[in-house]
Amino acid sequence: MQIKIAPSILSADFSNMGEAVKKIEKCGANLIHCDVMDGSFVEPITFGAQMIKNIRPLTNLPLDAHLMVEHPKTQIKFFADAGADIITVHYEACKKISDTYLEETLRLIKSYGVKCGAVVNPDVPVENIFPVFPLCDMVVIMSVYPGYAGQKFIPEVLDKVKKAREYAVRIGRPEMDIEVDGGVTEENAKTIKQAGANILVAGSAVFKAQDAAATIANLKR
């Protein structure tokens, strides 16, 4: 499978976001990962749909909106209208509301013609989202606890990545997108890919690099 790199703009300079987005596109990024935090599901507040709307005309790359928010259903309309290409929501935020909220949210995302995905935190078994795999265009395995860039990769999640790929194969979706988010580096990328991930989010690794193009190429390789 083709390996795709999704730099997270959380690590960009927010006062210069347009330039950052254009630069990572030139450097070989495949998607732009947009970390949306609400100050409640996670402590920090980052940005909302307006950021997606403003960067949409600046790049041809798909915008991957990772919603770390409570009550994600209330936000879908705004992110879809703003031009997100894929919207992912957390199992944990949905589960707090009801057992059916995750599925309802994924269906709502799809109703806008936008791709959808479910995200699990490091301490949540990936089996918990198996029931929604058939609905998902992508599943996201968090390899750090959400909230901050620059944290250390939690290697225990590799087993979940393996299980996710095996399950995708079992349900006849061998090419399903499996994204790993958090603490990805040039050093650990290989084991993450071997476990079965095909999309790697990289915030600090790309934005702190001297040569972002070389880092993206190394992460892919």
* Interaction site with Zn ion (CB under 5 A): 35, 66, 181
Minimum distance from residue 182 beta carbon to ligand DX5 (Å): 4
- Give the integer Cα–Cα distance in Å for 211 and 215: 6
- Give the integer Cα–Cα distance in Å for 186 and 38: 30
Question: What's the one-letter identity of residue 81?
Answer: D
Q: Is 13 a catalytic residue?
A: no
Minimum distance from residue 99 beta carbon to ligand DX5 (Å): 25
Q: Which is nearer to Zn ion, 67 or 80 (CB)?
A: 67
Q: Nearest residue to ligand DX5, using CB?
A: 203
- Give the integer Cα–Cα distance in Å for 189 and 35: 20
Among Zn ion, ligand DX5, none, what does residue 151 contact (CB within 5–8 Å per kind)?
ligand DX5
Q: Is 159 a catalytic residue?
A: no
Q: Which is nearer to ligand DX5, 11 or 198 (CB)?
A: 11
Q: Which residues bind ligand DX5 (CB under 6 A)?
A: 8, 10-11, 33, 35, 66, 144, 146-147, 149-151, 181-184, 201-205
CA-to-CA dists, residue 173 to 30, 164, 212, angstroms: 21, 11, 32
Burial 138-173 (b: 16+ CB within 10 A, else e): bbbbbbbebeebeeebbeebbebbbbbbebbeeeee
Q: Which is nearer to ligand DX5, 65 or 149 (CB)?
A: 149
Catalytic residue among 13, 35, 85, 211: 35
Backbone angles phi, psi at 211, to 5 degrees: -125, 90
Q: Which is nearer to ligand DX5, 150 or 173 (CB)?
A: 150
